[in-house]
């Protein structure tokens, strides 16, 4: 379809078809996740959290459904990404297609890397700090909905933050940013990174904020290095 002009109706028909395929993949993934929902919930629980509570009869069922949908989206993400790419590629130039195809595997790797970093290093420490902060006279009763929202939000936040080098790579390939611009504005980027870390992390302590800010700073420096490579390569053409 990329080799011919499509009418508006054809575009809408293709969009509908690809959305339906994506929804079907997510539903199948959610059904598989619901079958193993207890294992997924256990996977997302970190010491000192060893149990969760629900405060209304349907709460546990609804939270299991939401968790299954989230896991289903994760399982179906290759299908969803392919359908999205197949739809938008028709409107891209050859150069833009090449850039997106080059950046896509790095984007997926960095997103998973950010989520893994949050899972193993940030969440255990953040939960321990928040629960121990209440003191020995206060016993935590953690709601399923609040706890799962907290964990999923933090995993997604770190996954998205780790996309910074890919965003810079695409912008550099398109000629929107240059290494000189990134280096010249480093001090503003540092301030913005610490502000973003303070806003994104749900804990008030500086240590947890640094757990997000330090990787972001390293990713920013990596982005400058990547933009230099991309900028030099583009100038040689």
pLDDT band of 147, cuts 50, 70, 90: very high
Question: Do 127 and 19 lie in a common domain?
Answer: no
* Percent with pLDDT over 90 in the chain: 21
Per-residue pLDDT tens for 52-86?
A: 999 988 999 999 999 999 999 989 988 988 888 88
Last residue of a domain, one of 35, 62, 91: 91
Q: In this model, does residue 2 exceed pLDDT 50?
A: no
Domain boundary residue, one of 66, 91, 116 = 91
pLDDT at residue 65, as a whole number: 94
- Pair (122, 229) in one structural domain: yes
**Residues 224 and 132 occupy one common structural domain:** yes
155-179: average pLDDT: 81
Please give the full DSSP string across the chain, using - where no structure is assigned.
-TTS---HHHHHHHHHHHHHHHHHHHHHHHHHHHHTHHHHHHHT--TT----B-SSTTHHHHHHHHHHHHHHHHHTHHHHHHHHHHHHGGGS-HHHHHHHHHHHHHHHHHHHHHHHHIIIIIHHHHHHHHHHHT-TT-----BHHHHHHHHHHHHHHHHHHTTHHHHHHHHHHTTS--HHHHHHTHHHHHHHHHHHHHHHSS--SHHHHHHHHHHHHHHHHHHHHHHHHHHHHHHT-
Residue 3 pLDDT level (bands cut at 50, 70, 90):
very low
Q: What pLDDT does 52 receive?
A: 92
Does residue 41 surpass a pLDDT of 90? yes
Same domain, 188 and 80: no
Domain span at 29 = 1-91
Window from 72-86, 102-116, 220-234 with minimum mean pLDDT: 220-234
Final residue before a domain boundary, out of 31, 61, 91: 91
């Amino acid at each position: 379809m990329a080799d011919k002009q499509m009418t508006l109706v054809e575009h809408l028909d293709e969009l509908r078809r690809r959305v339906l395929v994506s929804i079907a993949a997510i539903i199948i993934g959610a059904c598989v996740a619901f079958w193993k929902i207890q294992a997924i919930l256990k996977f997302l629980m970190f010491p000192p959290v060893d149990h969760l509570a629900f405060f209304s009869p349907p709460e546990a069922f609804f939270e299991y459904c939401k968790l299954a949908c989230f896991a289903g989206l994760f399982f179906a993400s290759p299908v969803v990404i392919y359908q999205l790419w197949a739809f938008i590629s028709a409107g891209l130039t050859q150069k833009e297609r090449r850039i997106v195809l080059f950046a896509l595997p790095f984007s997926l790797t960095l997103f998973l890397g950010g989520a893994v970093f949050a899972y193993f290093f940030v969440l255990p420490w953040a939960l321990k700090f928040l629960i121990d902060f209440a003191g020995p006279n206060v016993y935590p009763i953690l709601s399923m909905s609040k706890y799962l929202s907290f964990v999923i939000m933090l995993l997604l936040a770190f996954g998205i933050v780790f996309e910074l080098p890919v965003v810079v790579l695409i912008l550099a390939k398109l000629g929107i940013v240059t290494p000189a611009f990134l280096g010249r504005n480093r001090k503003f980027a540092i301030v913005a990174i610490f502000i973003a870390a303070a806003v994104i992390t749900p804990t008030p302590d500086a240590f947890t904020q640094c757990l997000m800010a330090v990787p972001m700073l390293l990713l920013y420096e990596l982005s400058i290095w990547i933009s230099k490579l991309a900028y030099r390569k583009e100038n040689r053409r």
